[in-house]
Every structure is written in structure tokens, then in C-alpha cells.
Amino acid sequence: MKWWASLSLRGRLVLLGTSGLIVGLSIAGIAMATAMTYSFRGSLDRSADGTVTEIATLLNEGGRLPEPLPAPSNQVVQVLDPQHRSVLAGDQTADLLIPLLRGSEVDQALHGERIEVPGDRAVQPDTLRVTAHQVPDGRIILVGMPLGDFHRSLDLLRTALWVTYPALVFVLVIIAWRVVGAALSPVDRLRLGAERITGAATDERLPVPPSSDEMQRLAVTLNHMLDRLAVSRARQRAFIADAAHELRSPLASIRIQIEVAQKLGDWAAVSDDVIADLDRLSRLVDDLLLLARADASDPRRTALEPVELGTLLSSLAKRYDTVTVEPGESLWTEADPDALHRIVLNLVDNAVRHARTSVVLAASPEGSSEVLVTVTDDGEGIPAPLRERVFDRFARLDDGRARDAGGSGLGLAIVRELARRHGGTVRLTDGRPGVRAEVRLPRLPDSTM
């Protein structure tokens, strides 16, 4: 099937359409020829039956038969004796010596068969189709219908079909080629538009056909895809730029401190600061790797297992002097334990850095299908219009892009990404005072434990 694969889509569609057209026309031609054959033969047989009825009426009346017998000019009529050996009467064209049918042919005809015999039996140029009928006194009526016009009509029909059908197929193929080409022209325009759009940043989009069909919907869908790719590309560029900026700051600080130590010869004086910057750099790299893995991994392949939220919150609260856990019922969710630990830990770290005195953790049911985990601090809070921005990667809430102590700017972005991959959501609300972080996760019924 290499030849099929080498054809263009236009060629395949035209070839399929032409094949179906040829099959359809062939079936129609055969059906027409068959119908015409039965129609012609039926017309001949009805004419012969009418003549048989007229001659039978004359014979049944018992009078003297006219000489010759009355019959249409295109028919041959004979009346045979009961032994069908001799011709008793005939029309003006009939042979009065030799019967049209011989021997067993008469018996077959009397049983309803139409017998075709050579025309030379009646000095006719064409084959005869003979009908037989026996009257009550035993005499037999034979009516022969010449088949010349019948055969010539069929030959004319076959010739017409053989001439007109190929010409019709040729014309329809040309029309189909042009129609399919016009139908596929939007595809060519889409292809040319796609060739013009490169991997570089561009606002150019694919041309949208004016028609409301599949091509128009395809072009709109592809343009929406290009819009999403453009947004993703812009996000990647911003992410890379922010990552480069964040990496440059600790590297520059380490370099300056090492140069100062080289000049002063006092390495001990700068070692603590260098280690602190290296820790900050290490956390930033770890966060970047975590986000990269989260973007690239398939959430359906994440290994999930039941996690009891009260135990998780209590274990995290033990790390901090200012963090407490509100008592509550035992609640379970199905999650990746490490990812869920990272979600709560990032929220707690963020709250501890901004709290004045305390941070409160709690887990409560939200209906029968969700569980709510909250982390509330008593700090200065975040204005409502800015609460969504803090989930952006490397987001800053001030113009100076100052870094709060120990932060990498990726903690809340990691929280949102991990929560989303577990089928949950995260948002910030007013803690009165401070900020209340709310994480909603799917709830696992206690009966499944």
C-alpha cells in the first residue's frame, strides 16, 4: 500500500469518491439493463398472448378458419393438428409445411415455457420467441415473435452505457477534483500560516476561514493552542529571568565575601555568611528542581496512600516554639506523604516568618468529600488584591524586591502546584489579624482505613 501512502489527501478523497461512483454506476447500469430486458420480453409475451387469445376464439367458434390467419405483420402464427405433425393454417408469412416447434419443444411450450428457435424455420432473419396454446379440440396454436428489435434495443442500451458512463465518470472526477481542492484550500492556508510561525516570539496566528465548519473550528482551536504556548513561553522566560536574578544574588555575595577574605586573610570572619548564602542557594536550587519535576511528571502516576492529617500537623508543630495545633477529629486524605508534608511545611515556614507571636494549625471536615487544612498567623497580613499574586513564582509584594529572611520566592508556588496535582486548592484569606492559608483536599472516609 505504498502507492496509497504516497497519494495526497486530495488524491485519496477523489480516488475513494471515484471508486464509489464507479461501483454505484455499475450497479445502476446492470439494474437498468436487467429491467429493460424483462420489460422488452414482457411486452413481446403480452403481444403473443393477445394473438393466441384471438386465434383461440376463432378455433372455439368452430367456423371455417380464414386464409391466411389474421395476425400482426411482425408475428408468425401457425395452427397444428393435435399430433403437432402438420400445419393446418397460418398467417401470410407462416410456413405451411414445417412447424415452428418440433418434438419435445411443443410439450415444453404447452407447459408455459417460451421457446426460442432459429428464424430460418419460418424464413425469418431473426430468432423467434414462440408461445404455444392448445384449444379444447386438441389443435395447437403457435405464435412466434421476432427478437431482432429486442436484441437491437439491448445492444443500443449497452453501447449507450459503455459510452456515457466513462464520459460521466471523467466529468465527475474533474468536478470532484476541483470541489475537493476548494474544500481543502483552508488546510493549505493553515499549513502556510503554520510555516510562517516559528519558535521565536510572535503574535501571528493562523488564518481562520469564514465558514462555520470543521476547518474553522480547527483553526480556532490551533490559535487557542498557540495562545497557550505563547503564555507558557512568556512564563518560562520570566521564570528563567527571575531564577537567574535569584541565583546571581547569592553568588555575587559569596564572591564579594571571598574576595574580602582574600585581601584581609581572615576566612573565619566570612565563613558563616558564606555558608548562609550557600544554604540559601541550595534551597533555591532544590525549589527549582521540585517545580521542574512537578511540571514534567504525570499526576496519574503519583503513588498515593492514606495520610492522617492530625498526626502530620502535630509532627510539624513540634519543630517550632510558636506553632500550635487545634484539637479536632481524625481526618484522612489520600496523597503523596512527602508532597503533603511539603505543602504544610511551606505554609508554616511562611507563616512563622511573618507572625508576631503565634501560628495556629487546624484540620476540619468540609462536607463529606473534602477536608480543610488551615495555617493562621497573627502578622500584618496581605492586602486582598495582592493575595493571588503571592502564588506566582518569584512574586514580590514590594518595589524593592527585598527578600524576607530565608525565603526563596517559590514556597507558595510550590504549595499551589502540589495541591493542584492532588485535586485540591489553596487560597489566602483574612486571618483577623494576619493571614489564613486554606488548603482543601479530597477527603478519605474513615471506613476505608
Cα 76-82-87 angle, rounded to 5 deg: 35
Residue 439 pLDDT > 90, yes or no? Answer: yes
Bridge partners (DSSP) listed for residue 308 = 332
pLDDT at site 387: 86
Q: pLDDT tier at 272 (50, 70, 90 boundaries)?
A: confident
Residue 149 pLDDT > 90, yes or no? Answer: no
Cell digits of residue 378: 497573627
Tell me the C-alpha distance between 326 and 317, whole Å.
Answer: 11
**Cβ atoms of 40 and 32 closer than 8 Å:** no
Cell digits of residue 376: 493562621
Cα 198-202-208 angle, rounded to 5 deg: 85
Residue 392 pLDDT > 90, yes or no? Answer: no
pLDDT at site 301: 58
Comparison of pLDDT for 57 and 446, the residue scoring more: 57
pLDDT at site 242: 67
CATH architecture of 10-151: 2-Layer Sandwich (3.30)
pTM higher than 0.75:
no
Per-residue pLDDT tens for 210-230?
877 777 888 888 888 888 888
Cα radius of gyration rounded to whole Å, the chain: 50
The residue extents of the domains of the chain are: 10-151, 214-296, 301-448
Cα 48-54-60 angle, rounded to 5 deg: 130
pLDDT at site 403: 46
The CATH code for residues 214-296 is 1.10.287.130
Residue 298 pLDDT > 80, yes or no? Answer: no
Per-residue pLDDT tens for 154-199?
889 888 888 888 898 899 899 988 888 888 788 888 878 777 776 5
Q: pLDDT tier at 314 (50, 70, 90 boundaries)?
A: very high
9 phi, psi to nearest 5 deg = -60, -40
**CATH fold of 301-448, please?**
Heat Shock Protein 90 (3.30.565)
Three-state secondary structure of the chain? CHHHHHCCHHHHHHHHHHHHHHHHHHHHHHHHHHHHHHHHHHHHHHHHHHHHHHHHHHHHHCCCCCCCCCCCCCCEEEEECCCCCCEEEECCCCCCCCCCCCCHHHHHHHCCCCEEECHHHHCCCCCEEEEEEECCCCCEEEEEEECHHHHHHHHHHHHHHHHHHHHHHHHHHHHHHHHHHHHHHHHHHHHHHHHHCCCCCCCCCCCCCCCCCHHHHHHHHHHHHHHHHHHHHHHHHHHHHHHHHHHHHHHHHHHHHHHHHHHHCCCHHHHHHHHHHHHHHHHHHHHHHHHHHHHHCCHHHCCCEEEEHHHHHHHHHCCCCCEEECCCCCCEEEECHHHHHHHHHHHHHHHHHHCCCCEEEEEEEECCCEEEEEEEECCCCCCHHHCCHHHCCCCCCCCCCCCCCCCCCCHHHHHHHHHHHCCCEEEEEECCCCEEEEEEEECECHHHC
Per-residue pLDDT tens for 45-64?
999 999 999 989 888 887 67
For range 33-56, the mean pLDDT:
90
Residue 88 pLDDT > 60, yes or no? Answer: yes
Cell digits of residue 264: 584581609
